[in-house]
Amino acid sequence: MAHRWKNTLTHDDVTPRSAFLNRRQIMAGMAGMGLAAIAPKATAASDLTPTDLDVISQYNNFYEFGTGKEDPARNAHRLTTAPWTIKIDGMVDNPGDYDFADIMSKMTIEERIYRFRCVEAWSMVVPWNGFELKDLLDLAGVQSSAKYVAFETLYRPHEMIGQQAPFLDWPYVEGLRLDEATHPLTIMATGIYGKDIPKQNGAPLRLVVPWKYGFKSIKSIVRITLTDKEPPTSWNKAAASEYGFYSNVNPEVSHPRWSQASERPIGGGLFAKRIPTLMMNGYEEDVASLYEGMDLAKNF
Ligand code: MTE
């Protein structure tokens, strides 16, 4: 693993190692290495226990497949994900159409277990597999004039049946400042739990920016544009007073219609307790320096 951030864990950190070992391995381990080798690690990050895959893949926001939480799981099978091309253009040295399979052959895939906090005040913990966005941008060769990165989702209404209604101004678009995009916590996810990412979660590749509200993490990306202007973003276009460009998770800045101070973990059962929301979703130490001197209430 190239980087090891304080809040970035792999499965080994959150799952007692013994759970991975079958009985024979445990016996062999006991004989060969002594008990310490199989003792569960201290799980300081028990709040980072990954949410079950069936929850992660059946409770979704992907309006291209409908606005209900269960619509994406029901409708996303229509999406053709191979072949898949990502156009990278704008202020780059090597613009062009990049084949997804070709990109995958060049990237180092890591596991990143991240908190995922939706602006609607629910959350999950997702064991993503993917690569750092910076590595892809390096392939394209970002020019020094570039200040922002714009992203675009596929527009294909006969497969993405939610696009047949004008719920959002399709295609879905998002954007980051270049320093946010190249931060080591920012990844392109291509898998979950070690398997290809389910279509309803944004196959074959989607952005994951763990310190921002989930709507920044745009799915099924077909275009990445380097630009010197702040790019338009879908939810900001739909309701500018409710969804800003930055959208960093912030328990102190309420959404105009609800508090952001706490969140409901999905998958914990009907009576699961709400938990306090952490500043920048728990990644403050890693990313606060990106926003030094900025008024986070104004630049929400
Ligand atoms: N990307 C696209 N293209 N379309 C969407 O509707 N929804 C966003 C984000 N990315 C969305 C999207 C929102 S609001 C959230 S909370 C997350 O995806 C949900 O990701 P998940 O379904 O994998 O949990």
Q: Where are the domains of the chain?
A: 11-117+127-242
pLDDT at 10: 60
Mutate which of 167, 174, 217, 221 for ligand 1? The one with the most ligand atoms within 8 Å of its CB, which is: 217
Q: What is the H or E stretch that residue 285 is in? A: helix 284-287
Q: How confident is the model at residue 1 (pLDDT cuts 50, 70, 90)?
A: very low
Q: How confident is the model at residue 4 (pLDDT cuts 50, 70, 90)?
A: very low
Judge whether residue 35 has pLDDT over 80. no
Query: What is the value of pTM for the model shown?
Result: 0.88
CB contact set of 195 (below 8 Å; sequence gap of 6+): none
Distance (angstroms) between ligand 1 centre and the Cα of 6 equals 26
Q: Is 140 left (phi over 0), alpha (psi -120 to 50) or beta?
A: alpha
Omega prior to 83 cis, within 30 of 0: yes
Mutate which of 120, 219, 220, 233 for ligand 1? The one with the most ligand atoms within 8 Å of its CB, which is: 219
Judge whether residue 29 has pLDDT over 80. no
Q: What is the pLDDT of residues 134-149, one digit of tens each?
A: 999 999 999 999 999 9
- Measured from the CB, is residue 117 less than 6 Å from ligand 1? no
Q: Which CATH superfamily groups domain 11-117+127-242?
A: Oxidoreductase, molybdopterin-binding domain (3.90.420.10)
- Measured from the CB, is residue 243 less than 6 Å from ligand 1? no
CB contact set of 267 (below 8 Å; sequence gap of 6+): 51, 52, 55, 59, 124
Distance (angstroms) between ligand 1 centre and the Cα of 216 equals 8
- Measured from the CB, is residue 7 less than 6 Å from ligand 1? no
Judge whether residue 17 has pLDDT over 70. no
Q: What is the pLDDT of residues 66-115, one digit of tens each?
A: 999 999 999 999 999 999 999 999 999 999 999 999 999 999 999 999 99
Judge whether residue 38 has pLDDT over 50. no
Q: How many CB atoms lie within 10 A of CB 56?
A: 24
Judge whether residue 24 has pLDDT over 70. no
Mutate which of 54, 56, 57, 62 for ligand 1? The one with the most ligand atoms within 8 Å of its CB, which is: 62
Distance (angstroms) between ligand 1 centre and the Cα of 200 equals 9
3-state DSSP assignment of residue 49: coil
Q: How many CB atoms lie within 10 A of CB 226?
A: 23
